[in-house]
Amino acid sequence: MKNAIVILDKCGSPDFRNELAAYLRSNLNRLDYPVIKKIKQQDSRKNNLIQVADYISGILARKYQEKQDWFSYYQYIADKQLSVQLIPD
């Protein structure tokens, strides 16, 4: 990926969204290879792709939090998962 436009869900506090954007920029971009060109924030109710990403991240959260029913959701995406990066609290 190079010069990607990242779209974040506009839910949550503005401080969290700004901290996440700063974290992504500082940990992904290099001077010789800019991964992120721009970070936008949109309401998920107006963007189907954000809704899908939110759904998938919710399924993965259920799995890694070991919720009782995680597999009933995870089975639909298991063969599509390439990798997961857990970000510490």
Q: What is the pLDDT of residue 40?
A: 93
What is the per-residue pLDDT across 7-35, written as a single tens digit (0 to 9) for each? 988 888 999 999 999 999 888 888 888 89
Do residues 73 and 59 make contact, with C-beta atoms less than 8 angstroms apart? yes
Largest CA distance in the chain: 45
pLDDT reading at 88 higher than 80: no
Residue-wise pLDDT tens digits, 32-74: 888 999 999 998 889 999 999 889 989 998 998 999 999 999 9
Over 90: is that where the pLDDT of 87 sits?
Answer: no
pLDDT given for residue 11 in this prediction: 83
Strands (E), the chain: 4-9, 36-42
Q: Say whether 69 sits in a helix, a strand or coil.
A: coil
Angle at 46 between CA 44 and CA 47, to 5 degrees: 65
The single residue listed with the structure tokens 């029913």 is: 69
